[in-house]
Amino acid sequence: MRILVLGFTGYLGTHVVEGVRALPGALVLGGGRSPAAEYAIDLATVRREELAKTLASAAPDTVINCAGATGGDPVTLAEVNARGPAVLCAALREAAPGARLVHLGSAAEYGPGVPDVRVTESAATRPLAPYGATKLAGTVAVTTAGLDAVVLRVGNPVGPGAPSTGLPGRIAGLLRAAGPDPDAVLPLGDLSAYRDFVDVRDVARAAVLAATAPGPLPSVLNIGGGRAVPVREVVRGLAAKAGFRGRIAENAAGAGGGAGAAGSPGAAGSVRSADVSWQCSDITAAEVHLGWHPTHTLDDALTALWEGGERGVGGEGWDGSDRSDRSDGRERGERGVGRPGGGGGKGDGRP
The mean pLDDT value for 85-96 works out to: 98
Query: Per-residue confidence at 331, pLDDT binned at 50, 70, 90?
Result: very low
Query: Is the pLDDT confidence value at 187 over 70?
Result: yes
Q: What is the mean pLDDT of the chain?
A: 85
Greater confidence, 263 or 188?
A: 188
Query: Per-residue confidence at 225, pLDDT binned at 50, 70, 90?
Result: very high
Beta strand 229-230 with 194-195: parallel, antiparallel or unpaired? antiparallel
The mean pLDDT value for 299-314 works out to: 77
The mean pLDDT value for 128-157 works out to: 97
Catalytic-residue membership of 131: yes
Global pTM value: 0.85
Catalytic residue among 11, 39, 110, 131: 131
Would you tell me how many other CB atoms lie within 10 Å of the CB of residue 93? 15
- What confidence tens digit (pLDDT) does each residue in 39-85 have? 999 999 999 999 999 999 999 999 999 999 988 899 999 999 999 99
| Identity of the amino acid at 197 | F
| Rounded Cα–Cα distance for residues 270 and 350 (Å) | 9
Q: With contact defined as beta carbons under 8 Å apart, do 169 and 238 qualify?
A: no
- Taking alpha carbons only, the member of 322, 230, 276 closest to residue 114 is 276
Per-residue three-class SS string for 120-141: CCCCCCCCCCHHHHHHHHHHHH
Cross-strand partners of 185: 247
| Rounded Cα–Cα distance for residues 334 and 102 (Å) | 15
Q: With contact defined as beta carbons under 8 Å apart, do 199 and 301 qualify?
A: yes
> Cβ neighbours of residue 224 under 8 Å, at least 6 residues apart?
107, 154, 155, 156, 196, 197, 198, 280, 281, 283, 294
| Identity of the amino acid at 11 | Y
